[in-house]
Homo-oligomer: A and B are copies of this chain.
Amino acid sequence: MLKFNEQKQIDDIQGALDLRPEVEKIIDSVWEKGFDNIYYLGIGGTYASAMQAVTYINGKSNLPAYVQHAAEYYTTGNKRLTKDSIVILSSVTGTTQEVVKAVDEIKTVGATLIGFIDTEHSPLAEKCDHVITYPAPGTEQIKFFMVADRLMKNNGEFDDYEDYYQELDAHLAKGLVEAEKQADAFGLAFAEKHRHDAMHYFIGAGNQWGAVYSYAMCYWEEQSWLRSKSIHAAEFLHGTLEIVDETTPVTLFLGEDEQRPLAERVKNLLPRICGNYTFIDSKDYAVEGISEKYRGRVLSFLLMHCVTQRIDAHVEKLNCHPLEIRRYYRQFDY
């Protein structure tokens, strides 16, 4: 299978799950100290992951958890981000300039910074109060959700915490590679059909909203140089639907969290107004050993990522376009 190293992917996921004792130690220590607000800080792809984590928490918890956009922070500011706040961030390079700038200001405020920074000794790794370094692609959500889960457990909102992670530890890694194998034929067919689309619309809700936001922007636009637009399922019905006709390429991600009904509403509408739609439903991917009641947590997003990874691999090959290259980003100053 193209661009698929089964053992490495299993090891990557298992390794991310193995970070849990370290995450728990950090979260328990900040919990002990007390805090006012929790901020997931990000920009671009990490902003999308932040939206996923906060939507996840909001659906289950009373915790004051918010998304903080890095560039909005150092321009607009946020007076409710204080010395008693917790700020969680993630970065592959540890050098994302807007995040560095935001973190520098947050340090003067004195909030506690918890960073999943994949490059040791990078600026962001040096600046955070607590750093976990684990450079494995596709594990950012596991890390962010692990923090969320521990916070909710400590807040008395996740009684099944141990049972849940026992299932993930035992079955998640294997389940995801199996899902990727299952998705490969679909990924190829989708890539063949849509790799020259002039524009492609991606729709999602709940933690799939962050997924489509990131998929359209960080994968199709940034990596594949394909034009795409993401739109929240609930918002799609308040404007964007009007430009859809028979030929418009539209893909709907259906997840399994509280907002699934919003995606299902779009699912009901699309076949009446469009002849070029695709539904990707995480429910179509069984994962042995993971209870039904846990699927709406991080799993439904990770399954979606398995599917899109297969699309991307085939688009890269068919379009003769290496996903690593950038026209502009980090190519010159602006």
Identify the A interface with B (CB < 8 A): 43-45, 47, 55, 58-59, 61-62, 64, 66, 69-72, 75-80, 98, 198-199, 205-206, 217-218, 221-222, 225-227, 229, 232, 234-235, 237-244, 257-259, 261-262, 265, 268-269, 272-273, 326-329, 334
Contacts and interface: CB of A to CB of B under 8 A. Distances in A.
A259 B328 contact: no
B235 A47 contact: yes
Contacts of A75: 205-206, 258-259, 261-262
Given A69-B234, A75-B206, A78-B58, A265 B334 contact: yes
A176 B249 CA distance: 40
B328 A72 contact: no
Contacts of A45: 238-239
A268 B258 CA distance: 42
Given A61-B79, A62-B79, A69-B232, 9 more contacts: A43-B235, A45-B239, A47-B238, A66-B66, A199-B227, A222-B238, A222-B240, A242-B328, A265-B334
15 contacts: A44-B237, A45-B238, A47-B235, A55-B72, A58-B76, A58-B77, A71-B262, A75-B261, A76-B257, A77-B258, A221-B242, A225-B242, A269-B328, A272-B334, A273-B327
A229 B55 CA distance: 23
Contacts of A261: 75
Given A229-B229, A243-B221, A237 B78 contact: no
B80 A238 contact: no
A326 B244 CA distance: 12
Contacts of A78: 58
Contacts of A44: 235, 237-239
Contacts of A241: 327-329
Contacts of A227: 199, 243
B334 A269 contact: yes
Contacts of A66: 66
Contacts of A70: 234
Contact of A239 (B59, B221, B234): B221
Nearest to A45: B238
B199 A226 contact: no
A218 B206 contact: no
Contacts of A273: 327-328
B76 A59 contact: yes
A327 to B, nearest CB: 5
Contacts of A232: 69
Given A75-B206, A77-B58, A199-B227, A217 B234 contact: no
A68 to B, nearest CB: 10
Going nearest first, the 9 A-B pairs with the smallest beta carbon separation are A44-B238, A71-B234, A217-B239, A269-B334, A222-B239, A62-B79, A59-B76, A229-B229, A75-B259
Given A64-B80, A72-B259, A239-B222, A234 B58 contact: no
A332 B95 CA distance: 50
Contacts of A329: 237-238, 241-242
